[in-house]
Amino acid sequence: MICSCKCQDLEKFVAPVLDNRGAPLVAIVDTTNISSHIVRSIEMPLREIINSTIECKINEELKTVKQDIATLRMDTEEIFSHEILERKNFTNIVDTVKADLDEEVKNFKKHVDLMKSGLQQTIDEHTEVKQDIVTLQKEIKETITNEILKQVMNLTKIVNTVNIDLDEKVKNLNNNVDIVQSELRKTILSVNYNASNLAEQLKTHSNRLDALRSSILELIVNTSAIQNDVNNVRSNDGRLRVHVTRLDHLNAKVNAINARERLHVVAFYAYLSTNRVNPSFHQTLIYDVAKTNSGNGYNAATGIFTAPTTGIYVFTWVTRMYEATYSTELMVNNAVVGTSFLRVSHDHDVSASGTVVTKISKGDSVFVRVHSTKGGWGDILSEQYGRSSFAGWLLH
């Protein structure tokens, strides 16, 4: 609303700020803490504007009334001066003036009522502004509350996700610990087994040394007897042939003793204690249960046979599978000397075997592994109804 004031007592007029189309300028502000200040800042200038406007309007109307009264006075004086002698019309003139004054007062009252109505409308508009402010505060509070709830829900989801990841990691760590403990137990059992084998072999070698000492003493005794017989047969040619025959028998006996001492049995047999789940290509198969290990060439902890002597050896290995496919290789050091392949169809349990006869030197390593380039799928089985095994022995 644009108001104009002609009052000379006011040096400046305070009115709402309007744009070029007469619309009030509005700024969106955060009313969380300043709503009461906004109400006071709007209410005080508005009251000053209303009071100033009412005062100006009243003063203007009073001035107009005064001017009208002065004009009426002048008219009355003129009428009185010109028609003073006409006393009969005096009463009519006074009634006319009174009627005119009553009309002016009535018009003034109507004008004041219109002003009051405009002021009341302004006050109502101010009340609507207050209501809009309250509504805006409510909407802002609801928006802030919803945003806080969303952030709390997102934070809860993040915390739940982190907890799930931590549980999974703890589970994997426990599984890894169980696997390491199982491998350690197997290693300890293998070490104990190898220690027992070494003790048995030491006892065997000690017994062989005792037997060798007895054989040497017997040979010495026999040699002395032969020497005596040679001396005796020098005087008797007939008896010489008899002693020569005895000497041949003694030499044969000595050679047999020496051959028995030179003979060294080398043989081993081992199998998998449990199934091997989905082994990868190039993986060495460790047959961790060694049932036979003459010559102590097989290591159940690594699955590798180390030749204790040079010779011709026979090696054989068996791989049992169920609904699986694998190719295995027999390795001598880094060379492939034999392979075995089997593809097992649906609902079939089959074993594949391979046998190799080869010459190896003392210190060579022999082991079985999954094919270096051709991977497989499924599990390699080994249990009481059928074992996956590895064996070998010195042929010559």
Q: Give the end of a domain, one of 125, 153, 181.
A: 153
| Both structure tokens of 274 | 């449990």
Q: What is the pLDDT of residue 149?
A: 83
Is the Cβ–Cβ distance between 288 and 332 less than 8 Å? no
> Considering the domain boundaries, does residue 81 fall inside one?
yes
The verdict on residue 160 lying in a domain is no
In DSSP terms, 315 is beta-bridged to 356, 392
Residue 210 lies in a domain: no
Q: How many domains does the chain have?
A: 2
For residue 51, is it within any domain?
A: yes
C-alpha–C-alpha distance, residues 50 and 348, integer Å:
104
Domain coverage including residue 369: 267-394
pLDDT in the model for residue 53: 78
Distance from the first to the final alpha carbon of the chain: 124
Amino acid symbol at 144: I
Domain final residue pick, 153, 179, 212: 153
Query: Which single residue is written with the structure tokens 């047969």?
Result: 233
Predicted TM-score (pTM) of the model is 0.37
As a whole number of angstroms, the distance between CA 240 and CA 234 comes to: 7
Report yes or no on 168 lying in a domain: no
The whole-number mean pLDDT for each consecutive block of 10 residues of the chain, a chain of 396 residues, reads: 43 51 57 57 72 78 78 73 62 72 76 74 67 76 80 80 78 75 70 67 71 76 73 63 74 66 79 91 92 94 95 95 90 94 82 94 95 82 92 93
Q: Which amino acid belongs to residue 116?
A: K
Residue 190 CA neighbour count, 13 Å, CB half: 22
Q: What is the CATH number of the domain that holds 329?
A: 2.60.120.40
The verdict on residue 6 lying in a domain is: no
User: Which 8-state DSSP code applies to residue 323?
Assistant: S
Residue that terminates a domain, selected from 137, 153, 169 = 153
In a domain, 336, yes or no: yes
Q: Give CA–CA dist 130/224, Å, rounded.
A: 140
What pLDDT, on the 0 to 100 scale, is given for residue 4? Answer: 45
